[in-house]
Structure 1
Amino acid sequence: MQITFLGATGTVTGSKYLLSFDKTNILVDCGLFQGPKELRLRNWSPLPFNPEILDAVILTHAHIDHTGYLPLLVKSGFNKPIYCTYGTTDLCEILLRDSAHLQEEDAKHANMQHYSKHRPALPLYTVEDAENALKLFQPQAYNKVIKLHQNLSVQLIPAGHIVGSSFVRIQYQDTSLLFTGDLGRLHDPVMKKPTEVQQVDYLVTESTYGDRLHEKEPPKLTLKNIINKTIHRGGSVIIPAFAVGRSQILLHYLSELRKENAIPNVPIYLDSPMAINATQILYNHIEDLRLTQAQCQELCDVATYVNAVDESIELDLDKTPKIILSASGMASGGRIVFHIRAFASDPRNTLLFTGYQAEETLGAEILAGKKFIEAHGKIIPINAQVEAIRSTSAHADYGEILGWLKQFQQPPKKTFVTHGEPEAALSLKQKIETQLGWQCYVPEYGQKEEL
């Protein structure tokens, strides 16, 4: 068995792992590179293999850095099964269509503004390509043994990151290999904890937070305090939130605070069609959650859903106190940019960030203390209070990763640390070696390993 690391090396994004077994080839995850331009350009480079050689694609979960290259893979000739959980299939129906729509919009905008060197600028892939990819999905139950051929099988094991997320366990003859994908939190308020794994021959683990620990202050308490201070001074709380995962955690906290009468009874709006769809999908996959059916219903009911654009515009015209959750989580696009433009100049309001803010995004600029921002061609002063809750991540920190690894009854022969910035991956590697005594490696892009 040979593994080739084709993404999530030296970076968090672009997860792709090519596995070759005699005459069989499978790809575990098929993600887009995101972030700085030099990374995004990799999406336009041909893969170092012909997609037609693949017998299957296996997905750990639905996030675009793990699935967003699928439409291009299919466009390039792949036409075999895509295996994942039912929850991942449901979320991919939203996320891949949205990603394709954004690709088309970016190309359209580049042609209108004439800032692309290509004439005309073309999208990386289209909505039609995304639809063709979705036709290949074959959802599977958790823990079911999926036989790819006589000596090769796959299992999808609950990972606790988002709805549908799974570890991918490969069994080839007498050799086993496990991909963590994105490892969930031990005490996530919504998702069940990651499944304990006792033994595997080879391990590929993520390291997003391999060099840090999450803040200890309970995020629900921080959220309560920020809301109460803001509403008390007559302001509104504007929350950029990732549509899948983060929005649902925040809705859960808000439903609990509302039930406890711990925050004022002001309107709460979820203004993101994708987040609304993801919230409804959450309700359909209660088996993934630590919430009861009643708690899940409360989460779904706490906010008024805003689908129509004109309803979203009306929110910005009404300056009475309210709470708005909207995407994107980094304020790099979507309706949240309009809300920031409308509310940022009033010192009574609060802009509350609840997730990672990548370099060069609007969210990163605001969090860094920039006093003026440009949003849709207008210069906007940032007079609103700027706050951040840094403990709502759905990724395990290094303490939680090490705690999960310590449950293994014997060490893997080799552990590969991926899906992290260089400092995070190297830091986790050193911690695993020091605390567990395991053989640990940080692979480079394109590196091949015989297992």
Structure 2
Amino acid sequence: MSVNITFLGGTGTVTGSKYLVQHDGKQLLIDCGLFQGYKQLRLRNWNPLPIAAADIDAVLLTHAHLDHSGYLPLLHRQGFRGRVHATPATCDLCAILLPDSGHIQEEDAAFLNRHGYSKHTPALPLYSKHDAIVSLNLLHSEVIGKTFSPIPGWKATFSSAGHILGAASILLEVAGRRILFSGDLGRPDDLVMNPPDLPPEADTVLIESTYGNRTHPKEDVLAELAPALKRVASRGGVAVVPVFAVGRAQALLHAIALLKERGDIPRSLPIFLDSPMAVHTTELLPRHPDALRLDTHALHKMAHIATMVETPEQSKALAKHHGPMVILSASGMATGGRVLHHLAHYLPDHRNMVILTGYQAPGTRGDTLAKGNSTVRIHAQDVAVNAEVVQLESSSAHADATQLISWLKHMKHAPSQVYVVHGELDAADAMRQRIERELRWRAVVPEHGSTWPT
């Protein structure tokens, strides 16, 4: 019998990753992510999957970012009771991210209901903190490099993907077919994470394409970040930095620590990390030193370069502080969380600055700011954008197009099929063309909901 893949997310967009592998009546889901960005994408989160959750035998996660793991609480609520296999660090991070995601959704719904901003009465969270906590019981950790059996007769092996703590590529072996899921691949020159492992041999490859049509600048993040922070400090402004709580926040803390140590920015410049999730993730790093480039000294500096802000009261109190100061706050594309309150407060003042630190999916507030719009919609209000907006081009945790091609080139034999996923349509198609032109491999960009053979 054939082995088929149905693309339930992460196609035509960088969010909502879900790849359903089916063979001989068994069904396995690779990644279980939330859709983010445009409203028509976010609405997919509310739609039931085209398969009953109870009929899925197992889930494998490439990593803990919500666009890869954030649908798990819903899947459990819909009846899934199988195991969710992930690396130890991904299990640790999901225990931080998923409850926080539920909490933020409850907070955002409560805020909309309090102020009457919602078109729905009442506004409801997609899932609750309790839903998320209960779903954590499904997690089962697997050691990187050690083959395991998620379904009898099926084999799977995690290999390191760089990108963030615990991120992995997955080799799935079923019915004589070897299917490689790249997951989100990190950069070989990342400031914090070790480079990805080389890819194993496979018959079918799913390759991410977030930066499939771009290459990163030669200038590093330190060279980009230093002048921006010097400018905002010199005018007494506040820099609001939307960050992904896992990965980007820690990379920025490390970069700021290096800049202060070198004297490239004022050593007295106050730094605040306003995200309980980012605080807890930063505390988690020393438990997984093998994944990191950083030694104990660098990890200590990272953990102490900022004032850690955890309670809502502490977060609100930041508005009473005078600049200069830097506030790192989740979420990285300004889709929700505490950063929205900081943006609403600081965007109207021309002395202030917003620093965007990575990919901004179309339809997100981060994308609106990156495009230079004069207003941005926050909590049903149009907020004037008078602050300087800076987009760091070198801070991405994703491999660029050339680095993705280089990773694929390490495969000794050409796969029979490559599926280009996890990219906007222009990026995915550009990657498809490069694979066909430079590697002479068969490549296709699958459509959402389509089913393809392996």
TM-score range, shorter chain: over 0.9
1:132 to 114, 131, 134: 134
Q: Give 1:227-376 correspondences, 5 Å limit.
A: 227-265=229-267, 266-373=269-376, 375=378
Return the letter of the residue paired with 2:148.
Answer: I
2:201 to 176, 196, 199: 199
CA RMSD of aligned residues (A): 2.2
2:4 to 2, 5, 10: 2
Change (3 A) 1:262 1:122: closer
Could you say which residue in structure 1 is the equivalent of 2:172?
170
Does residue 70 in structure 1 map to residue 72 in structure 2? yes
* Aligned sequence identity (%): 43
Q: 1:403 and 2:406 equivalent?
A: yes
Counterparts of 2:258 and 2:367 in 1: how far apart (Å)?
Answer: 29
Gaps of 5+ in 2: none
Give the partner amino acid of 2:418. T
More displaced 10-residue stretch of structure 1: 142-151 or 361-370: 361-370
Superposition map of 1:380-395 within 5 A: 381-395=384-398
Determine the C-alpha separation between the residues in 1 that align with 2:271 and 2:60. Answer: 38
Equivalent position to 2:421, from 393, 418, 421:
418
SS at match of 2:150: strand
Aligned-partner SS, 2:9: coil
| SS across alignment from 1:251 | helix
| Cα offset, 1:262, TM superposition | 2.0
Q: 1:27-176, aligned counterparts within 5 Å?
A: 27-108=29-110, 113=116, 115-116=118-119, 120-149=122-151, 151-176=153-178
Q: Distance in 1 between matches of 2:414 and 2:303?
A: 42
Shift of 1:195: 0.5
Residue 300 of structure 1 aligns with an amino acid whose one-letter code is: A
Alpha-carbon spacing, 1:149–1:419, altered in 2? closer, same or farther (3 Å) = closer
How many pairs are equivalent?
450
2:85·2:150 contact (CA, 8 Å) conserved in 1?
no
Structure 1 Cα separation of the partners of residues 362 and 443 of structure 2: 29
Corresponding residue of 2:430: 427
Once residues 120 and 370 of structure 1 are traced to their aligned partners in structure 2, the CA distance between those partners, rounded to angstroms, is: 31
Equivalent AA in structure 1 for residue 358 of structure 2: G
When residues 345 and 443 of structure 1 are mapped into structure 2, their CA distance, relative to the original with a 3 A threshold, is closer
Output the amino acid matched with 2:424: E
Tell me how far apart the structure 1 counterparts of residues 399 and 409 of structure 2 sit (CA, whole Å). 14
Q: CA deviation at 1:59?
A: 0.5
| Deviation of 1:168 (Å) | 1.0
Distance verdict in 2 for CA 1:69–1:374, change over 3 Å: closer
Alpha-carbon distance in structure 2 between the residues aligned to 1:379 and 1:299 = 36
Q: 1:77 to 1:218 in 2, by over 3 A?
A: same
Measured in 1, the distance between the counterparts of 2:192 and 2:399 equals 14
Q: How far apart are 1:216 and its partner, in Å?
A: 2.2
Map Cα deviations across residues 211-269 of structure 1 (whole Å, 9 max, x no partner).
11122221111111112222233333322222111111111111111222221122211
Kept in 1, the 8 Å contact 2:171–2:200? The answer is no
Gaps of 5+ in 1: none
Any conservation in 2 of the 1:8–1:14 contact (CA below 8 Å)? Answer: yes
TM-score normalised according to structure 1 size: 0.93
